[in-house]
Structure 1
């Protein structure tokens, strides 16, 4: 196989591995392409989710849904104007606004749409998550947890750890780096490590990346420095994915500041 074809194939595999990460929603950090808002009105832009808008504006998802009459699965449209304060709007008016906004939006194929086919048809239910202790995970960074894992629709699919810029980021386990880059909007400088056929860990918003695609890493090896790429503040967004499903890292990590006993 030629070098060009091999490179193309590697990129394709990496993007498929990233697809579930991308489609599951962002970590809740501010994106440079987020919609604009003035006063009490927010204008939705491509790639926005209700959860991301909540983080950008400081208005809770529950309050945004109530004010704008949006019901699960919280569908919003590009160009739609969302109220951030005031009295609640009826669901009928909200749906009509979203439909009108959609008609005005050019039909363009986005990267998210292209990767939709790679989204798993079903996720692993929490009852089928692996038992703690089956694998030895290490803390990827030291710092304060500023955003925990959430099972809510559009919720955080990992944990966000805050520390000083330049703080070390470590591999949570031994494995092979399958993605290094910043092509996935909302994650900034991102690293994905594949540990076996079942597990992948993700490290987002890094400042400096210290590993290369295809590189083998050891558990506890320094792979990056903490930053704020595509985030509102310096933090590490960390995920553990089991068969493409994001599971709660705190359920599997040892007590913070200690080494795994397994």
Structure 2
């Protein structure tokens, strides 16, 4: 699905130019949404599996939630049923990576295979909540699981930088993430903020911890939310393990 050398996604890519960082993290985010998943679809039809939502199917197939709803006549609250066949964009695809003769595919180790012992210790860095609200999707190590947390809120609600750093991506080219911002905090850490409404920062801009960088929205999502990822050496780790209790300042 992605023909690119596996070494591109190694942690070392974070030390390269901003352009290389964007390429590395963009591919990593795209693969994270389907890495380890055995879900497949043929041609332009996807069969709903147990646990699927339009939001998840959007990430697996590269079809926006808005297009999925429109193409299949689905209205809010976007209820779907197991076995239901949905029209999607694109040709025959497989959500899991495959290797063709003479082609090297990007190799990414799913977070479920990275032992907790290799994660950074809690308190090594101070992280702030990027927004306030109920966590409606938690981090998961299961196949095709959520590699961040989703926080519900209201349209226009402020989204803040979880830490000081430099903006390395602002855009909506990654299908399934809507209006997305990525911030590099060091040679090892990057945070990602997806589904925003308004983007308030630019590529290359330095930001402070707690600085307002966007407003919450529902771009490429089936409800207003913020999808937040914390990545350590390009590996998605559980943000709830490192964030303080909501409403509390960082303890480090």
Q: Please indicate the TM-score interval, normalised by the length of the shorter structure.
A: 0.5 to 0.7
Kept after mapping to 2: 8 A contact 1:50/1:154: no
- Which ranges of structure 2 fall in alignment gaps of 5 or more residues? 1-16, 35-40, 58-80, 85-90, 94-99
Residue of structure 2 in register with 1:153 after alignment: 143
Return the alpha-carbon distance in structure 2 between the equivalents of residues 19 and 179 of structure 1: 13
3-state DSSP of counterpart to 1:44: strand
Looking at structure 2, the residues matched to 246 and 50 of structure 1 have their Cα atoms a distance apart, in angstroms, of 25
1:249 counterpart = 2:239: yes
The separation in 1 between residues aligned to 2:21 and 2:238, in whole angstroms, is 25
- What is the CA–CA distance in structure 1 between the aligned matches of 2:231 and 2:201, rounded to whole Å? 20
7, 10, 23: which one aligns with 2:31: 23
Quote how far apart the aligned CAs of 1:155 are.
Answer: 0.3
Separation (CA, whole Å) in 1 of partners of 2:176 and 2:110 = 23
- Mapped to 2, the partners of 1:192 and 1:119 lie a distance apart of 22
Contact kept, 8 Å, 2:178 with 2:196, in 1: the verdict is: yes
TM-score by length of 1: 0.64
Higher RCO (CA < 8 A, seq sep 6+) = 2
Q: C-alpha separation between the residues in 1 aligned to 2:55 and 2:168?
A: 34
Instruction: Give, in angstroms, the shift of residue 138 of structure 1.
Output: 0.2
The residue correspondences of 1:84-233 to structure 2 (distance < 5 A) are 84-85=82-83, 105=92, 117=105, 119-120=107-108, 124-233=114-223
How well do the aligned residues superpose, as a CA RMSD in angstroms?
3.4
Larger radius of gyration: 1
Structure 1 unaligned regions, length at least 5: 1-8, 27-34, 36-41, 60-82, 87-103, 107-112
Give the equivalent residue in structure 2 for 1:44: 46
Secondary structure in 1 matching 2:52: helix
Report which of the two has the higher share of helix.
1
